[in-house]
Amino acid sequence: MNKVGVGGTFNVLHRGHRALLDKAFEVGDEVAIGVMSDAYAAKSKKQLVPLDQRLSALRSYLSSKVKPFTINVIEDAAGNLLSDPALNALVVSPESFTAAERLSKVRAERGLGELRLHRIGYVLADDCTPISSSRVLEGEIDLEGRMLRAMRACVGSDNPVKLQAATNVLARIYGNVEVTGHRVSVNVPSEPWGEDVERGAVERARKVLGSADFGIGIEAGIFERKGDLYDVQYCAVVDKMNRVTVGHGSGFKYPSQVSELLRKGATVGEAFKQLYDLEKSGRGNGAIGFLTHGMLKRSELTEQAVVAAMVPRMRKELYFEA
């Protein structure tokens, strides 16, 4: 018989708690659940749901489970880990893994045998940070991790094209968004080439994250391929977990005359001004609008880059550690 332990406050039974419990029932034949007492939980929780309500919610969720289980009220971190010889495994979240390792060694020293530890990853809310009871109780997210307030993003630029592109994409993903922008300086050339393009986007995103949910950096630059020069826009998105996701839009090839001037040190704006009397301010339809007779606008290229950078965040269960 494989008896598995799992414990916590279970302050509000959110999706992260349910994942922890589900894993315990998946790997165990019998599950022992430790629930912090009010006195124990009050030491670390600013807002605490009374024990009887927590137990009621827990029993309601567990009513559909077919495997046997027990619920014990615990007064400390060890609970019954150091007294139940039948326990042989433990399901833990990332923040409790180190303490679980320590308790497992103490258990072995007492002749009860070490526990197999099953570590599950964080269950993330829409903003790609962990779902927690405190966030639910504060009204920031619901039990499933959906945002109950506007998603806040800051773009590392005051360019209206970039701000609108980020706003358009995030609004399609999350609905309610607040997007601001701040001009920042980055340690890349004003006309970046190659790896400097992505590096500039990441640096912009990091510099403006602040208290926002996402920091967004957008950088366009020049790439060489088989002797030709291409324009490609990169977008980087950073969150409060310091996780960075990067994507880029479709690239287009510069005319040979433009490429020749770029290789001589001219900027893209200077080249297009000299050859076609076109200002490339980065705030209109840009070179791509000119080259495609308006069929494709710079803002659309920018949106492509933002969408590409947001792909892992839209499908975080596929990209981020489980």
Ordered domains of the chain (ranges, CATH):
3-137 (3.40.50.620), 151-319 (3.90.950.10)
pLDDT, one tens digit per residue, over 153-210 is 999 999 999 999 999 999 999 999 999 999 999 999 989 999 999 999 999 999 999 9
Q: How confident is the model at residue 303 (pLDDT cuts 50, 70, 90)?
A: very high
Q: How large is the average pLDDT for residues 81-105?
A: 92
Structure tokens at 189: 């050339």
Q: How large is the average pLDDT for residues 229-252?
A: 97
In the prediction, which pLDDT does 321 show? 72
Q: How large is the average pLDDT for residues 282-303?
A: 84
The CA distances from residue 273 to 84, 169, 258, in Å, are 79, 31, 10
pLDDT, one tens digit per residue, over 239-248 is 999 999 999 9
State the CB neighbour count (10 A cutoff) for residue 41.
20
Mean pLDDT score across all residues of the chain:
94
Q: How confident is the model at residue 280 (pLDDT cuts 50, 70, 90)?
A: low
Whole-angstrom distance, CA of residue 315 vs CA of residue 317: 5
Contacts of 191 (CB under 8 A, 6+ apart): 221, 222, 262, 267, 268
In the prediction, which pLDDT does 1 show? 80
Q: How confident is the model at residue 286 (pLDDT cuts 50, 70, 90)?
A: confident
Q: How confident is the model at residue 322 (pLDDT cuts 50, 70, 90)?
A: low
Q: Is pLDDT larger for residue 305 or for residue 290?
A: 305
Contacts of 169 (CB under 8 A, 6+ apart): 303, 306, 307, 310
pLDDT, one tens digit per residue, over 42-53 is 998 999 999 999
Q: With 60 as the cut, is the pLDDT of residue 144 above it?
A: yes
pLDDT, one tens digit per residue, over 38-90 is 999 999 899 999 999 999 999 999 999 999 999 999 999 888 888 889 999 99
